[in-house]
Structure 1
Amino acid sequence: MKPHLTRLELRRLQPGQQLTSGGIHFERLANGDGRFTVNIMVDRVRIHRVVGLESEGVTLTQAECLIERLRTEARASRLSLPKGRKVALGFSMAADDYLKRLEASQGRNMGKKRLHIARHLKPFFADKSLSKIEKFDLQRYAKQRRENDAVPGTINREFATLLHLYKRAVEWGWLVKVPFEIPRQKEENRRMVYLTSEQISALLSAAKADRRWEIYPFTLIALHTAMRLNEILSIRRADIDLTRRIIHIPQAKAGARDQPITVELADYLRGVLAMDAADQTWLFPANSASGHTVEIVQAFQRVVTAAGLNPREVTRHTLRHTAITHLVQSGVDLPTVQRISGHKTLAMVARYSHQNGEHIQAAMEQLQNRITQELHRPQKSLTGT
Structure 2
Amino acid sequence: MAIVQLPDGRWHVDVEPIKGKRFRKTFKTKGEAQRFEATCRSKCIETPAWNPKPKDRRRLSELIRLWYNLHGHSLRDGKRRLSKLEQLAKRLRDPVARTLDPSSYSTMRRKRLDAGVSPKTMNNELGYIRAVFNELRDLGQIEFENPLVGVKPLKLQERELSWLTNEQISELLDAIRNGCENPHTELVTLLCLATGARWSEAEKLTPNRLQGNIVTYAGTKSGKVRSVPISKELADRLRKHWRTEGHFTSSITSFRRALERTTIQLPKGQAAHALRHTFASHFVQNGGNIVTLQKILGHSTLAMTMRYAHLAPDHLQDAIRLGPLVSASP
Question: Normalised by the size of structure 2, how large is the TM-score?
Answer: 0.61
Match of 1:153 in 2: 120
1:250–1:256 CA contact under 8 A, matched in 2: yes
Structure 2 Cα separation of the partners of residues 110 and 215 of structure 1: 30
| Structure 1 residue matching 2:197: 3-state secondary structure | coil
Match of 2:164 in 1: 195
Q: Deviation per CA, 1:84-118, whole angstroms, max 9, x where unpaired?
A: xxx61443x6556756776853x245586478558
Structure 1 residue 79 and structure 2 residue 54: aligned? yes
* 1:310 paired residue among 262, 265, 268: 265
Which structure 2 residues correspond to residues 91-106 of structure 1 after superposition, within 5 A?
91=61, 95=64, 105=74
Q: Deviation per CA, 1:158-214, whole angstroms, max 9, x where unpaired?
A: 333333344344445553343212421111234322222222333344456455677
Structure 2 Cα separation of the partners of residues 238 and 262 of structure 1: 14
Structure 2 Cα separation of the partners of residues 364 and 133 of structure 1: 52
- Judged with a 3 Å threshold, the aligned counterparts in structure 2 of structure 1 residues 131 and 336 are, in CA distance, closer, same or farther, namely same
Structure 1 Cα separation of the partners of residues 321 and 157 of structure 2: 33
Structure 1 Cα separation of the partners of residues 65 and 189 of structure 2: 31
Structure 1 Cα separation of the partners of residues 182 and 89 of structure 2: 29
Which structure 2 residues correspond to residues 128-207 of structure 1 after superposition, within 5 A?
128-172=95-139, 174-176=141-143, 177-181=145-149, 182-206=151-175
Q: For structure 1, list consecutive stretches of 5 or more residues without a partner in the other structure.
A: 1-67, 69-77, 82-86, 285-292, 369-385
Structure 2 Cα separation of the partners of residues 180 and 143 of structure 1: 15
Counterpart of 1:305 in structure 2: which amino acid? E
Structure 1 Cα separation of the partners of residues 192 and 272 of structure 2: 9
Match of 2:206 in 1: 237
1:245 offset after TM fit, Å? 0.7
| Structure 1 residue matching 2:291: 3-state secondary structure | helix
1:230 offset after TM fit, Å? 5.6
Structure 1 Cα separation of the partners of residues 137 and 294 of structure 2: 35
Which structure 2 residues correspond to residues 273-352 of structure 1 after superposition, within 5 A?
273-274=242-243, 284=249, 302-310=257-265, 312-313=267-268, 314-352=270-308
Q: For structure 2, list consecutive stretches of 5 or more residues without a partner in the other structure.
A: 1-27, 29-52, 323-330
1:305–1:311 CA contact under 8 A, matched in 2: no
1:340 offset after TM fit, Å? 0.7
Q: Deviation per CA, 1:124-144, whole angstroms, max 9, x where unpaired?
A: 346444444342243234323
* 1:222 paired residue among 189, 192, 206: 192
Counterpart of 1:223 in structure 2: which amino acid? L
Instruction: Give the aligned length.
Output: 266
Counterpart of 1:178 in structure 2: which amino acid? N
- Judged with a 3 Å threshold, the aligned counterparts in structure 2 of structure 1 residues 217 and 347 are, in CA distance, closer, same or farther, namely same
Structure 2 Cα separation of the partners of residues 205 and 332 of structure 1: 27
- Judged with a 3 Å threshold, the aligned counterparts in structure 2 of structure 1 residues 352 and 211 are, in CA distance, closer, same or farther, namely same
Structure 1 Cα separation of the partners of residues 207 and 96 of structure 2: 43
| Structure 1 residue matching 2:279: 3-state secondary structure | helix
Structure 2 Cα separation of the partners of residues 301 and 243 of structure 1: 31
Structure 2 Cα separation of the partners of residues 239 and 115 of structure 1: 34
- Judged with a 3 Å threshold, the aligned counterparts in structure 2 of structure 1 residues 366 and 187 are, in CA distance, closer, same or farther, namely closer
Structure 1 Cα separation of the partners of residues 138 and 173 of structure 2: 45
| Structure 1 residue matching 2:216: 3-state secondary structure | strand
Match of 2:31 in 1: none
Structure 1 residue 270 and structure 2 residue 239: aligned? yes
Question: Normalised by the size of structure 1, how large is the TM-score?
Answer: 0.54
1:219 offset after TM fit, Å? 3.7
Structure 2 Cα separation of the partners of residues 116 and 306 of structure 1: 35
Counterpart of 2:216 in structure 1: which amino acid? I
* 1:257 paired residue among 225, 235, 257: 225
Structure 2 Cα separation of the partners of residues 247 and 101 of structure 1: 32
